[in-house]
A and B are shown apart, each in its own frame.
Chain A
């Protein structure tokens, strides 16, 4: 009977519509519920943050772990720290390794701004009020080396080709001292990979000249008086912005804001203060791409184009 068949079809469609509407409403409710939930209540988002080595890789990672834990707690995320043995690796592997952000050195950050369009969020201000550092070139005090000409045939410990203090400064120094090709001028140049090793290599006579950042130099001098007693600083670079947390540009804006707020408000939170003290900073201040202008200027002085620069260590 056509009447009955029509009735059956109507019933079938009505039931299907009901289920569709029911499931649709459910999804919408679920979505709304998620949006209203506080951070951390829902399944926490995982952030992968890269680190480069100023000190030995183990100490470096340990010093960042309390900070990462604090940020994870405040932003309702879980943060995984990933160590990189070379500064340049961080830039090359930023996207392939699925990094959401990294604590970049100033030159690495400048390179990443140009190459990866990363967004700096915040950088530390040290207890002395400085949020910048200088690059240093140093020799042993008992060494005869006092100027560029004295360096011929010596061993130079650089840090990394993506380091301001450990690469840009020496390059600038070589240019000013008319050292055309450092590969032939020195008997050996090599990259220590950490500022700490550069300092200790010179101190222990593994290298004749070294370059590193003053924050590491001063930190090591606090625990080892020989650093200041036996090393002579020959050159100091202009002020460069301290290592900053920069994130990928397409990271969720709210998460970016949470991260930034958490960092900037750390000094107002007792727990944050404790973490800052352990980290060696007084507070975090906001960082912008403009902070890296001195780095670009410095690179420009030695004729280095960050956009095309090959930062892979030889």
Chain B
């Protein structure tokens, strides 16, 4: 847009200057044209003047020897004026062709003047004097005829040149009118196009803002806007995306709060009667003499009560997790402890020497990873949950690789990868949803709790999986953060 505004400004300045220069040049051309017309009229006047002066001398010649004859000095003055007028023609013209004609005419005038002189000085018989006089008069007439010829020949040329000059003036005048009328129209058109583009873009953005304002958070600016407006539209769309995410997050938070309230209520309501039931069943199981089969029934009831308690505990943990008690944690030490704890699940009760599954745990810890600030118990809960899931995913034999590494953006990444059966794509997007599980006896809260705990630590958790090859979880925790309790 800046570029276009600059170009438009340049075009305006160019139009202004070029228009100004053209108008100045046109005025100059018109003035030159008018000067030419005046000069051409002057030429006509000079030729008429020359004709008149020759006629005056001819008249003087005819009046010579008559009572009306002029004194010789006056006659000479007339003849000299005629000669000067003839000479002016030569000083005016420059083309060789015209000059040749005029030099010939000048010779005629010179000859005429010599003959006039002769008429005024010769004395002799009447016949000779008359002959000289007639000769001079004939020469004068020839000169007049020559001027007439030049006038007729050049009149057409002069007329054409005057017409041409007038046409040029008229053409320039039309062009000027065109420029004066079309120039502003052109500028208005450019301004209209420019403003139209501007207002269209602004209108599109205003419309989008109104849509968002009206609650349509899915609305995005679809129009292809020009230049900086495209950037603005892109930013607007990003903002809308963010707004939508925030809204969803808020809704999720609200939902969790509701679930938490429900869970707490439910736990309180169920926990105490359940404890009574549990104690009662245990008393009955201990005090009554029961057959082995009946004892097993009592044990199953107690186990189911334990499951209900565990479920209630998980539900409380997800809905209303206890606030983190952050400490500076050595992740590697915590992971080692967790690996050890997870290892207990592989112990075969029947044969301690032979584990239930052949799982190799590979530790790929980076020495650069620093301590992180986190709740030790919650972190251990997360790692243990993921490791147990990994053990569950491996059918009989496999590898679990635990990697730690320092990320560039002042964060630490923990990667837990298994070579288990993997997760299908349609389930992959749901695995962090509460109560989603593929296990027959799972609560579907394990990974949801993991995600919730990691987010409580301002971290992220992602998963990638290929069915048949394995699953990898990526946890990223910030190295330094301000959590309730301890800061680093």
A86:B121 contact, CB within 8 angstroms: yes
Q: What B residues does A61 contact at CB under 8 A?
A: 76
Residue from the set A56, A160, A313 with the largest chain B CB neighbour count within 10 Å: A56
Measured in the bound complex, the distance between the Cα atoms of B124 and A83 in whole Å is 20
CB neighbors of B among A57-106 (8 A): 57-59, 61, 82-86
Q: What A residues does B80 contact at CB under 8 A?
A: 58
* A53 on the B face (CB < 8 A): yes
Contact of A53 among B116, B121, B124 (CB under 8 A): B121
Contact of A192 among B73, B79, B121, B125 (CB under 8 A): B121
Measured in the bound complex, the distance between the Cα atoms of B114 and A82 in whole Å is 18
B123:A188 contact, CB within 8 angstroms: no
B118:A85 contact, CB within 8 angstroms: no
Measured in the bound complex, the distance between the Cα atoms of B123 and A145 in whole Å is 24
* A217 on the B face (CB < 8 A): no
Contact of B72 among A59, A83, A189, A190 (CB under 8 A): A83
Known: A190-B123, A191-B124. A84 touches B72 (CB 8 A): yes
* B12 on the A face (CB < 8 A): no
CB neighbors of A among B94-130 (8 A): 113-114, 116-118, 120-125, 128
Known: A56-B117, A57-B76, A58-B117. A190 touches B122 (CB 8 A): yes
Q: What B residues does A56 contact at CB under 8 A?
A: 113-114, 117-118, 121
Contact of B73 among A53, A83, A160, A197 (CB under 8 A): A83
Measured in the bound complex, the distance between the Cα atoms of B113 and A42 in whole Å is 39
A193:B120 contact, CB within 8 angstroms: yes
* B83 on the A face (CB < 8 A): yes
Measured in the bound complex, the distance between the Cα atoms of B128 and A85 in whole Å is 17
Q: What B residues does A57 contact at CB under 8 A?
A: 72, 76, 117, 120-121
What's the nearest-Cβ distance from chain B to residue A108, in Å? 14
A86:B123 contact, CB within 8 angstroms: yes
Measured in the bound complex, the distance between the Cα atoms of B113 and A137 in whole Å is 26
What's the nearest-Cβ distance from chain A to residue B81, in Å? 12
B124:A190 contact, CB within 8 angstroms: yes
Q: What B residues does A194 contact at CB under 8 A?
A: 117-118, 121
* A314 on the B face (CB < 8 A): yes
What's the nearest-Cβ distance from chain B to residue A62, in Å? 9
CB neighbors of A among B3-25 (8 A): none
Measured in the bound complex, the distance between the Cα atoms of B129 and A197 in whole Å is 13
What's the nearest-Cβ distance from chain A to residue B477, in Å? 115
Q: What B residues does A83 contact at CB under 8 A?
A: 72-73, 76
Q: What A residues does B128 contact at CB under 8 A?
A: 188, 190
B115: nearest residue on chain A (CB-CB)? Answer: A56
B79:A85 contact, CB within 8 angstroms: no
Of the four ranges (under 10, 10 to 19, 20 to 34, 35 or more), the interface on chain A belongs to 20 to 34
Of the four ranges (under 10, 10 to 19, 20 to 34, 35 or more), the interface on chain B belongs to 10 to 19
Q: What A residues does B117 contact at CB under 8 A?
A: 53, 56-59, 194
Q: What A residues does B118 contact at CB under 8 A?
A: 56, 192-194, 197
B131: nearest residue on chain A (CB-CB)? Answer: A206
Measured in the bound complex, the distance between the Cα atoms of B121 and A191 in whole Å is 8
Residue from the set A61, A85, A86, A197 with the largest chain B CB neighbour count within 10 Å: A85
CB neighbors of A among B51-100 (8 A): 72-73, 76, 79-80, 83
What 1/0 flags go to A40-65 for Cβ under 8 Å of B?
A: 00000000000001001111010000
Measured in the bound complex, the distance between the Cα atoms of B113 and A53 in whole Å is 14
What's the nearest-Cβ distance from chain B to residue A7, in Å? 66
What's the nearest-Cβ distance from chain A to residue B325, in Å? 125
Measured in the bound complex, the distance between the Cα atoms of B131 and A190 in whole Å is 13
What's the nearest-Cβ distance from chain B to residue A119, in Å? 25
What's the nearest-Cβ distance from chain B to residue A120, in Å? 24
Measured in the bound complex, the distance between the Cα atoms of B83 and A14 in whole Å is 67
What's the nearest-Cβ distance from chain B to residue A34, in Å? 31
What's the nearest-Cβ distance from chain A to residue B372, in Å? 115
What's the nearest-Cβ distance from chain A to residue B60, in Å? 13
Residue from the set B79, B113, B116, B124 with the largest chain A CB neighbour count within 10 Å: B124
A192:B122 contact, CB within 8 angstroms: yes
Q: What A residues does B120 contact at CB under 8 A?
A: 57, 85, 193
Q: What B residues does A160 contact at CB under 8 A?
A: 123
What's the nearest-Cβ distance from chain B to residue A208, in Å? 14
Residue from the set A53, A160, A197 with the largest chain B CB neighbour count within 10 Å: A197
What's the nearest-Cβ distance from chain B to residue A50, in Å? 11
Known: A83-B73, A83-B76, A84-B72. A58 touches B83 (CB 8 A): yes
What 1/0 flags go to A278-314 for Cβ under 8 Å of B?
A: 0000000000000000000000000000000000011
What's the nearest-Cβ distance from chain A to residue B282, in Å? 156
Given contacts A83-B73, A85-B121, A190-B123, 9 further A-B contacts (CB under 8 A): A53-B117, A58-B80, A58-B117, A59-B117, A84-B72, A190-B122, A190-B125, A197-B118, A314-B123
Question: Residues on A close to B: CB < 8 A?
Answer: 53, 56-59, 61, 82-86, 160, 188-194, 197, 313-314
Chain A to chain B contacts (Cβ below 8 Å), 24 pairs:
A56-B113, A56-B114, A57-B76, A57-B117, A57-B121, A58-B76, A58-B83, A58-B117, A59-B117, A61-B76, A190-B124, A191-B123, A191-B124, A192-B118, A192-B122, A193-B120, A193-B121, A193-B122, A193-B123, A194-B117, A194-B118, A194-B121, A197-B118, A314-B123
Question: Residues on B close to A: CB < 8 A?
Answer: 72-73, 76, 79-80, 83, 113-114, 116-118, 120-125, 128
When A and B form their complex, which 3 residue pairs have the shortest distance between CB atoms, in order from nearest? Answer: A193-B121, A190-B124, A56-B117
